Chain A
Amino acid sequence: MITGKGITKTFRQRGGMLGAREVPALRGVDFSIEKGGAVSFIGESGCGKTTLGRILAGLESYDSGEIVIDGVPMSSLRPKQRQPHFRRVQLIHQDPYSALNPARTIHQTLDAPLTLRAKQTGRSRSWIDERAEELLGLVGLDPGYVLPRYPHQLSGGMRQRVVIARALTVDPDMLVADEATSMIDVSLRLGILGLLKDLRDRLGVSVLFITHDVATARYIGLDGELYVIYRGQVVERGPVETVISDPVHPYTQSLLSAIPVLHGLEVPGAERVVPTEAIDAAQPDAGCLFAARCPFRTERCTSELPVLGHDGGTLQEHACFHPQRRSVVATPAVAS
């Protein structure tokens, strides 16, 4: 189980002559992921979802807040001691083309982390080769074919499977899949998603799925939770099916309304919210971060910041002063 409380992170951009500019990426995010569970972060690019994934994988630092990995609070450890804990979270990169070293064969790629693992657990050399074959089999690849090859000799889907196999070499508790299928051919995506789903069941690995594609998030974890993130703040959170069918935050509604409708197969949602694009991302001084783009904003939204919480009428938590359930998602066309 991995939990986070009040995680904040601010990037300092060098702004030329005017000096450093501060860009808040995360503004106090709380989350928790059960063992074997599935959590999806959705939101636009730059909303902070990728940063959060990288923080959990130990690739990025955070400014404040607490992360607890399997009961061990990270604040109780010195930075060096934290690394073995963060190693139990492995990141699956978006781009399977840059995630594998082009100059090394798949055998070499898997051998390095497995050798390290064998050393830690006092296992023999033979275990390394057996484990490499086992892991490739687990992700649905033929070890005999894949092992001696270089990444460029494999398709995008196969590479992404190799990347997953490599992440599994260290027996992680959680995989962070950051847009893990967006660069893979449409007909192959489902295979990768199915594999991640399968790994949850078979290995008890939890999956943190980071995406802007809500449908894929739903596919991985129907039983999981959905976090909708806007500009570093969780604006809505709840069970996947609830958030998709009964979103209450206008941003979630915009996001869901923007998903293309397969006309002919589906009909658009009844209360589709026409989303407005963030052309000018100027920082409001006060109030709701989404107010400038929100079609339902009121006076209060521009002066007061809503916080995430329950109210009586909804199953999910949200950060909105005027929550209203709207059915925005396309529904199957009724067969005539």
Chain B
Amino acid sequence: MSVTSDKRAPGVRISDLSVVYRTGAGELPAVRGVDLELEPGTITGVVGESGSGKSTLALSMLNAVQPPGRIRSGSVEIDGLGDVVTLGGDDLRKTRGRHVGYVFQAAQNSLNPLKTVGKQLLDLGRSHDVDDLPGLVKEARSLLDRMGLDGARVLDSYQHELSGGMRQRVGIMLALVLNAHVVVLDEPTTALDMITQATILRIIREVHEERGLTTLVITHDLGVVAEIADRLAVMYGGRLVEQGPTREVLGAPKHPYTQGLLQAIPRLVGDIDEARALPGRPPTLGTIPPDGCVFRERCAVRMDVCETGEPPVLTIGPRVVACHTAAGDGEQKETVTTGPTRGEEQA
């Protein structure tokens, strides 16, 4: 991918990141000890259910966690920028947009209903001290044209005049127009139709390659990640439980949660009885167990050690998995079947 522009794409290293929220019951961790590296020019997908901490992780990329939340420890190193966690004030504000572009969840609601898209673009430009505003408008128009819209017309439109898919494109345009090379997309296709979703995913992939970006996609939908991401990271209860190249993780998931999640998705072909619901329900901030494995309540292969021992984080080639079961048999494949195919290595 993106062979031509790899040099421009910065890498991002998130290390030992912990984010806590202050509640009546003290400070509770929404994200705990997350290590994640976004290699330059790749798309990384983070998958998780509600309460998994995926959106908090995305906000941390911009150091934009709002009180009562705060980043307790760890760092987010972006090439050419340094540790975002230590930035503050004006430096931080300039970072957002210029270096890191953010496409908000349900971009349909993140536009100002009282201003045209063009006006909001100019506001964005002014707040970032862009001298060449006509140039900015030109860039925006070409981005919108690139995404299959009539740029000039969209810039003259109000939010309500645009469909869901068009608003999502506007969100992507606003994230990229200041020439950011790290882009975070939070649930980019939620509430969109299947066909629109497919189009938006294609556009994300194409723009990513053309502009040489490093992209992070946050979603609850494994399908979205499967379509566009090079690497896949699975979050549960604030932890990263598994990560690796998308095809390998989907083809042969190692963590019981990833396996369960894949099995819980109804498929278009094959025996429908293969699909199995995961028992229990995802933890909320207040019910995440403080120690031991976060997933053990719902795990089919739990052991005594899961109650108390923090699962070891194992690196197996390009893959990382945090599970006690993986500790014993290292490189061995799991025995649980995943959907119609058995979990075979695809590498």
A contacts B: CB pair < 8 Å: yes
Residues of chain A whose beta carbon lies under 8 Å from any beta carbon of chain B: 44-45, 155-158, 185-191, 193-194, 212-216, 218-219, 222, 244-245, 254-265, 275-279, 329-336
**Contact between chains at B193 and A214 (CB < 8 Å):** no
Minimum distance in angstroms from B189 CB to a CB of chain A: 9
Q: Report B191 CB to chain A, min CB distance, Å.
A: 9
What are the nearest 9 A-B pairs in CB distance?
A: A260-B223, A264-B251, A264-B250, A264-B247, A258-B198, A219-B266, A190-B277, A187-B278, A44-B193
Query: In angstroms, how far is the closest chain B Cβ from the Cβ of A70?
Result: 30
CB distance from A328 to the nearest CB of B (A): 10
Residues of B within 8 A of A189 (CB): 264, 277
Contact call B275/A190, Cβ cutoff below 8 A: yes
Q: Tell me which residues from 212 to 235 in chain B have a Cβ below 8 Å from any Cβ of chain A.
A: 220-224, 226-227
Contacts of B248 in A (CB 8 A): 264
A215 with B267: CB separation less than 8 A: yes
- Known: A218-B268, A277-B165, A333-B346. Contact between A191 and B277, CB under 8 A? yes
State which residues 246-279 of B face A: CB under 8 Å. Answer: 246-252, 260-262, 264-270, 272, 275-278
Tell me, in angstroms, the Cα distance from A157 to B221 when the chains sit together. 17
Q: Any chain A CB within 8 A of the CB of B149?
A: yes
B222 interface neighbour in A186, A191, A277, Cβ under 8 Å: A186
Residues of A within 8 A of B44 (CB): none
A255 to B278, CA, bound (A): 28
- A264-B226, A265-B338, A265-B341 known; A190+B250 contact, CB < 8 A: no
User: Which of A186, A190, A215, A258 has the most C-beta atoms of chain B within 10 angstroms of its own C-beta?
Assistant: A186
A185-B281 contact in complex given A257-B198, A259-B194, C-beta closer than 8 Å: yes
With A264-B226, A333-B346: A186-B194 Cβ-Cβ less than 8 Å:
no
Q: Which one of B262, B275, B341 lies within 8 Å of A333 (CB-CB)? A: B341
- The docked-state distance in angstroms from the alpha carbon of A278 to that of B196 is 8
A215 CB to closest chain B CB (Å) equals 4
**Interface pair B264/A187, CB less than 8 Å apart:** yes
B199 within 8 A of A: yes
CA distance A155 to B281 in the complex (A): 8
Instruction: Point out the residues of chain B lying under 8 angstroms from A244, CB to CB.
Output: 268-269
Complex alpha-carbon distance, A46 and B148, angstroms: 22
The interface residues of chain A lying within 8 Å CB-to-CB of B345 are 336
Q: Can you list 26 pairs linking A and B with CB atoms under 8 Å apart?
A: A44-B193, A44-B195, A44-B196, A45-B193, A185-B49, A185-B281, A187-B277, A216-B266, A222-B272, A257-B198, A258-B197, A259-B194, A260-B223, A261-B227, A262-B223, A263-B246, A263-B247, A264-B247, A265-B338, A265-B339, A275-B198, A279-B148, A329-B269, A333-B341, A333-B346, A336-B346
Contact indicator B195/A277 (Cβ below 8 Å) = yes
Docked pose: A333 CA to B197 CA in angstroms: 23
Does residue B163 face the partner (Cβ distance < 8 Å to A)?
A: yes
Closest A-chain residue to B220, C-beta based? A186
* A-contact bits for B109-147, CB 8 A (1 contact / 0 none): 000000000000000000000000000000000000000
Q: Which residue of B lies closest to A277 (CB)?
A: B199
Does the CB pair A157–B281 fall under 8 Å?
yes
Closest Cβ neighbor of B298 among chain A residues: A187
Q: Are A190 and B197 in contact (CB under 8 A)?
A: no
The verdict on A186 contacting B198 (CB below 8 Å), with A215-B265, A264-B246 known, is no
Q: How far is the CA of A313 from the CA of B272 in the complex (A)?
A: 28
Option from B198, B264, B269, B275 in Cβ contact (under 8 Å) with A332 = B269
In the bound complex, CA of A218 to CA of B163 (Å): 29
Complex: chain A residue closest to B189, CB-CB: A260
B50 at the interface (CB under 8 A from A): yes
Query: Which residue of A185, A191, A279 is within 8 Å of B163 (Cβ)?
Result: A279
Q: Does B155 make an interface contact (CB < 8 A)?
A: no
Q: Please determine whether B194 and A212 come into contact, CB atoms closer than 8 angstroms.
A: yes
**Contact among A186, A214, A331 with B265 in the assembled complex (CB-CB below 8 Å):** A186
With contacts A188-B278, A215-B265, A265-B339 known, is A255 near B270, CB below 8 A?
no
Interface centre among B199, B249, B261 (most CB of A within 10 A): B199
Return the chain B residue nearest A42 by Cβ. B194
With a CB–CB cut-off of 8 A, which chain A residues contact B307?
none
Report chain B residues within 8 Å CB of A275: 195, 198-199
- Please tell me if the beta carbons of A185 and B266 are within 8 angstroms of each other in the complex: no
With a cutoff of 8 Å between Cβ atoms, the chain B residues found around residue A245 in the complex are 269
B342 at interface, CB cutoff 8 A: yes
A256 contacts across to B, CB distance below 8 A: 268
